[in-house]
Amino acid sequence: MIRFDHVTKRYPDGTVAVDGLTLEAPTGRITVFVGPSGCGKTTSLRMVNRMIEPTSGTITIDDRDVTSLPPHELRRTIGYVIQHAGLFPHRTVIDNVATVPFLLGTDKKQARARAAELLERVGLPAHFARRYPAQLSGGQQQRVGVARALAADPPVMLMDEPFSAVDPVVREQLQDQFLQLQEELGKTIVFVTHDIDEAIKLGDQIAVMAVGGHLAQLSSPADLLARPIDAFVAGFVGRDRGYRALGFARGAALPTTPEPTVRFGERVPPGGLEEWTLVVDDTDQPQGWLRSGPSGSPPGSPIDDAALFRGGTLATQGGSLRAALDACLSSPSGRGVVVDGDGRLEGTVHLDAVTDLIASRERAEVTGGADG
Ligand SMILES: Nc1ncnc2c1ncn2[C@@H]1O[C@H](COP(=O)(O)OP(=O)(O)OP(=O)(O)O)[C@@H](O)[C@H]1O
């Protein structure tokens, strides 16, 4: 566990970047520092590995004061990932990752073998190993940055806006893979971002900081959305809080009804089909909705890819109420498509049934029952 105890940082020009910060970042969990520009997130992070020394207060890792070790020894136990990866430009990708274990005394061949394994784990194909950082995209460089920080297998990782400099699609992939990796590795992570959505997606707990370096709120993502502590946090957490909070809400089982389906290769029967009919593939995975009747596919026409409406999202049985609601709202038939864990059709759910589940969950919260 990393513990900040009344930590203050005042820079020589008098700027108070962090003001009396007290919080715990639990072992094996992701703690996200989020807040507007200049609120002291980076300063807080860098005090953990002593790139910046606090003016007062103490930081401990597993009850050991970080100042009790020389900085270079301390940093062996702490991985550090920054926005533009900060790779060595004149070393190949594999040597970037192998550098720290090599410096720590691992034999070169072994360090490279471990580096190759890490590159694979962060999702970088093997043929990138011999390239130089400038020959990689921004997202690929960030993957190398994460692999490098993991190379010495440190129990603690500090990550300062590691995914901020890449486009939204790549960013989402990096976040998903990072979460998968963390599930296996269970590192103690402090992660800095200015993006509240990223904080909510990645954090086990979120520390919202306000300008002046104050901790405004420390909560789980669900609590932050449901119960922002003051107007500043409410404003920072932003719009659609109620809807976004449903992303953490798992209702009772979704009450599905069986949905008639057709398959590719079949033809619209002479009597026609319902106005909207669900098309599934050979393994019962939903592919989209087919419109029948006067403005859609006439009887006898083949059921093929071209006529499909693919706009609807899928809800998973056991998934969030937000996904269930979205499946209903995005379905042209008004019936939300529900699949099982393997992506096979389970049935459809009606909007009324989902809103009933949402309402009963809210009533349970107000009366102190289960939180879904
Ligand atoms: N070396 C320094 N000397 C004086 N003031 C500094 C120094 N470094 C940072 N600051 C100030 O301390 C405050 C906190 O900076 P910090 O970089 O920790 O914020 P941040 O929340 O990480 O911001 P951002 O999201 O913009 O990166 C800011 O007002 C900044 O201008």
**Same domain, yes or no: 39 and 187:** yes
Q: Grade residue 372 by pLDDT with cuts at 50, 70 and 90.
A: very low
Spatial separation of the C-alpha atoms in residues 217 and 230, rounded to whole Å: 9
Q: Does the pLDDT of residue 273 top 90, yes or no?
A: no
The runs of H, that is alpha helices, within the chain are: 41-48, 71-76, 93-103, 108-121, 138-150, 168-185, 196-202, 221-226, 231-237, 241-245, 321-329, 351-366
The SS3 call for residue 280 is: strand
Question: What is residue 305's predicted lDDT score, i.e. its pLDDT?
Answer: 82
Asked if residue 38 has its Cβ within 6 Å of ligand 1, the reply is yes
Q: Grade residue 163 by pLDDT with cuts at 50, 70 and 90.
A: confident
Percent of the chain with pLDDT over 70: 96
Is 365 domain-assigned?
A: no
Asked if residue 200 has its Cβ within 6 Å of ligand 1, the reply is no
Q: Grade residue 366 by pLDDT with cuts at 50, 70 and 90.
A: low
Question: What is residue 17's predicted lDDT score, i.e. its pLDDT?
Answer: 96
Q: Does the pLDDT of residue 181 top 50, yes or no?
A: yes
The answer for 103, left when phi > 0, alpha when psi is -120 to 50, beta otherwise, is alpha
Question: What is residue 54's predicted lDDT score, i.e. its pLDDT?
Answer: 97
Q: Does the pLDDT of residue 310 top 50, yes or no?
A: yes
Asked if residue 15 has its Cβ within 6 Å of ligand 1, the reply is yes
3-state secondary structure 72-114: HHHHHCEEEECCCCCCCCCCCHHHHHHHHHHHCCCCHHHHHHH
Q: Does the pLDDT of residue 64 top 70, yes or no?
A: yes
Q: Is the pTM of this model over 0.90?
A: no
**Same domain, yes or no: 178 and 229:** yes
Q: Grade residue 363 by pLDDT with cuts at 50, 70 and 90.
A: low
Question: What is residue 369's predicted lDDT score, i.e. its pLDDT?
Answer: 44
Q: For 112-155, how does the pLDDT look when each residue is reduced to its tens digit (9 = 90+)? A: 888 999 898 888 888 899 999 999 888 889 889 989 988 888 99
Is 271 domain-assigned?
A: yes
Which of 244, 274, 289 represents a domain boundary (last residue)? 244
Q: For 75-124, how does the pLDDT look when each residue is reduced to its tens digit (9 = 90+)? A: 989 999 888 778 889 999 999 999 888 877 778 888 888 899 989 888 88
Q: Residue 46: which CATH number?
A: 3.40.50.300
**Same domain, yes or no: 237 and 267:** no
Look-up of token digits 């200015």: 194
Which atom of ligand 1 is nearest to 35's Cα?
Answer: 21
Question: What is residue 367's predicted lDDT score, i.e. its pLDDT?
Answer: 55
Question: What is residue 167's predicted lDDT score, i.e. its pLDDT?
Answer: 81
Nearest to 222 by CA among 204, 195, 240, 198: 204
Question: What is residue 174's predicted lDDT score, i.e. its pLDDT?
Answer: 85
**Same domain, yes or no: 208 and 89:** yes
Rounded to 10 deg, the angle between the 138-150 and 93-103 helix axes is 20
**Same domain, yes or no: 234 and 266:** no
Tokens of 294: 């006067």
**Same domain, yes or no: 211 and 301:** no
Pocket test for ligand 1, best of 4, 8, 11 (most atoms within 8 A of CB): 11
**Same domain, yes or no: 231 and 284:** no
The SS3 call for residue 187 is: coil
Spatial separation of the C-alpha atoms in residues 62 and 2, rounded to whole Å: 6
Nearest to 371 by CA among 154, 199, 183, 222: 222
Question: What is residue 294's predicted lDDT score, i.e. its pLDDT?
Answer: 67
ipTM: 0.96
Is 364 domain-assigned?
A: no
**Same domain, yes or no: 13 and 131:** yes
Which of 215, 244, 273 represents a domain boundary (last residue)? 244
Asked if residue 14 has its Cβ within 6 Å of ligand 1, the reply is no
Please say whether the dihedral angle defined by the alpha carbons of residues 315, 321, 327 and 333, taken in this order, is positive or negative.
positive
Nearest to 273 by CA among 299, 304, 251, 246: 299
Contacts of 278 (CB under 8 A, 6+ apart): 259, 260, 261, 262, 286, 288, 289, 290, 333, 337, 345, 348
**Same domain, yes or no: 314 and 189:** no
Domain count, the chain: 2
Question: What is residue 251's predicted lDDT score, i.e. its pLDDT?
Answer: 66
Is 253 domain-assigned?
A: no
Question: What is residue 265's predicted lDDT score, i.e. its pLDDT?
Answer: 85
Q: Does the pLDDT of residue 238 top 90, yes or no?
A: no
Q: For 6-54, how does the pLDDT look when each residue is reduced to its tens digit (9 = 90+)? A: 999 999 999 999 999 999 999 999 999 999 999 999 999 999 999 999 9
**Same domain, yes or no: 282 and 310:** yes
Q: Among 11-20, 50-59, 306-315, which is the least confidently predicted range?
A: 306-315
Pocket test for ligand 1, best of 8, 21, 32, 42 (most atoms within 8 A of CB): 42
Q: Residue 319: which CATH number?
A: 3.10.580.10
Question: What is residue 239's predicted lDDT score, i.e. its pLDDT?
Answer: 76
Compare 244 and 187 and report the one with higher pLDDT: 187
Is 256 domain-assigned?
A: no
**Same domain, yes or no: 101 and 162:** yes
Is 234 domain-assigned?
A: yes
Q: Which residues pair with 158 in a beta bridge?
A: 80, 190
Give me the domain span that covers residue 199. Answer: 2-244
Q: Does the pLDDT of residue 371 top 50, yes or no?
A: no
